[in-house]
Structure 1
């Protein structure tokens, strides 16, 4: 079928909305009419650094309505409202033990440009286009494996829900699924973009006593305060480690870094109290750590977390329920853009003008 899609032809090139061909869903696959798709930093990295073969149709926070299902699909029906999340194989040890975010085939399935059967679903002028995250949701329609697809409540605005498939799932899931802070403890969140603010909302749900937001932008810190941060620190003007230990009487129990900035990660480690835990969710370059002084000698833990260590089919509906109860107001992060304005949405995200852009496709 002919669809409209935002095609990326090379490193750093702007999106071009063009007509492409989308194949029918095969066994265990679903055809979705895309309503909207969130703009995530991972899309920008793929566009600018070539983590997926070009040409490619990006987009991995899609939401839409199911139009057709392939043979063998059991959990999804035409007419269902769905959110699309990451691809996983479903049969490796990590998938089978409830950790599909570290599927042993994760990189191939999400960044390799092909579907699980090693074929393409997208073509243009008889040339194959790469698929991203098993969905390519910057398009009017998408084909995804049933494992990517999460059925959601029809009572909630479907256009709003796409970011639950990646960025918002990452921040909130890292808190709720991996760190699991005890009631009355303290947590620091470094970087208050969409991922960090989602973590702050999640920490508020768990009943943390101190929820400390760290950033260099006062406007973002004010949003963090509105969403549940008990304290805010502008790291341009304050001693982060000193303030953390003052607020928490010795250091935080938990930390979460979304920035990937080595100096920030060092601060986050030093700001932990003994036995503290730091989760890293940002893409971080090579850096030096004094393992003895900064980790071992005080029994600290530093762990990497992907996609919030979530099982999307279980976790995303939970987030929707929290949202409906007023406990997870992620709609306050969002600004909608028309599909034709997708390049503006990415530019506004890069400049920090919009915390979480969502492109409305239809």
Structure 2
């Protein structure tokens, strides 16, 4: 097999692990690919590099391809989400001043209780300055969903500011923002530096949120089907490897290298294990499904996930919800996933969409060849999203 060079972009986050592991442990080489990985300083830079053809693929926020399909953000290039790279992985943090205020009011919630945390913030009755890494991100969608359902008028109560992940710890410690939603390890870095407290994991809002996707230009996937398949297989193998708990220490060590995250392996491993330190006083909690790269068909690009993102964006930006959900669903390429990963034995659900938020326990689901176990995917408020009725 002829080895082909391929350049992929990523942001320095733990959930870039499938790309990094695919390169460093030889899964890309097995598929005849010589990967070059480029770190980006911001999500807008990474999006633009991919759109302009400076890189072939990217570790990408799942809402970015949806936003582009909906004509949001000024970029018209069509992206495809070939697979989901990671489920969950975000944390919500607050400044020490805000934590002290909640503590004085007796309102510090349990770390996994999104209802109590939302209610505590709503009782403050003051605008909140919140940092997110990008306007079109799962961070933004989860925050708006959670706080609106908690009784805040998000248009009036939120001052949402865009801050690249590596700068989030400095932003909250300097008082630029009162709170943030960011991917690991940057929440843990905030705690490590004493600049803030973790309030909630993103998984407490939606237990199975598609956080990052493997994104490529639509025209590239169409014109390069062989390379597309090789790339998808290499990344899928890396996710399968990452699914093994006994590999977390090795993964954390590799991710800690300066060319990738450049933070200690001990901090990186917190997200992989789900064992988070949540304040400077040493309080820790285990977060089920903190971050997942493989189990429960985690990498399958459910069209209903895309539809949920599209419907949420439509509600925020004044677009038609049904049309937006349809356009967004088309971005999640379950057809390519079936074509290229089926021969490897990947779990292929019998359907490409489902009711999002309907599962409170591990549940058997039919596949093309048998059954698989889907993990819980509940929203914190018990809502269920039906992709056939996105306007609800």
TM-score (ref. length: structure 1):
0.31
Which structure is higher in helix share? 2
Flag the structure with higher strand content: 1
Higher relative contact order, structure no. (Cα contacts within 8 Å, ≥ 6 residues apart): 2
